[in-house]
Amino acid sequence: MTTDSDSDLTPADDTIHEDRLWRDDGWTARVIKNEDDDGWAVEMIQAGEAEPALVGPWTMGRDKKNPKPLDAGAFRTLVKTASEVLRRHEQQRHAMLHKNVAIDVNGEQISVALEIVPDEDDPYADLKAFDAFGAQLAHVRVSPAFKLTKASAERWAENDFAKPN
């Protein structure tokens, strides 16, 4: 149940809709002077982040001196584009930290996975083997620099899943 006093606990509405600054829906679009030339750029910053998710050129206004004002349509497009950039970065990071190969051991299909844990103090990786039903056959901790390839997975299996050197 919501009471009037509950609304006092919510943060103030920080929506801004100005020509060079829009803040809405967890995003801030800011039109800035382009350092590389005489034009303008727009940066998109997600709430809570220090760095922009996207920086790109921005259109000049009719006077060919000042930037075109931000509007709702442009802001929606910028949010969509910046969100896509973040999604691609996350997919790339996931692909760098999670590798999988399939090998054949004595006629059985084995899946070998490497999951890198990029801890600042003690980075490591988990090397795991699974049977065709998903049951874990082996698990060892390895260096985050371990290169998982079909050949390295086959060598690991041939050595009875002993920790690789």
pTM equals 0.69
CA angle 23, 53, 60 (to 5 degrees): 65
The residues facing 60 across adjacent strands are: 67
Nearest-Å Rg of the Cα atoms of the chain is 25
Partners of 36 in the β-ladder = none
Which residues, other chains included, contact 68 with Cβ-Cβ below 8 Å and sequence gap of 6+?
A: 58, 59, 60, 61
Give the pLDDT of the chain (165 residues) as one tens digit per residue: 444 444 443 344 689 999 999 999 999 999 999 877 878 999 999 999 999 999 999 999 899 889 999 999 999 999 999 999 999 999 999 999 999 999 999 999 999 999 999 988 999 999 999 999 999 999 999 999 999 999 999 999 999 999 998
Q: What spatial distance separates the first Cα and last Cα of the chain, rounded to whole Å? A: 60
Instruction: Find out whether 157 and 105 touch, Cβ atoms under 8 Å.
Output: yes
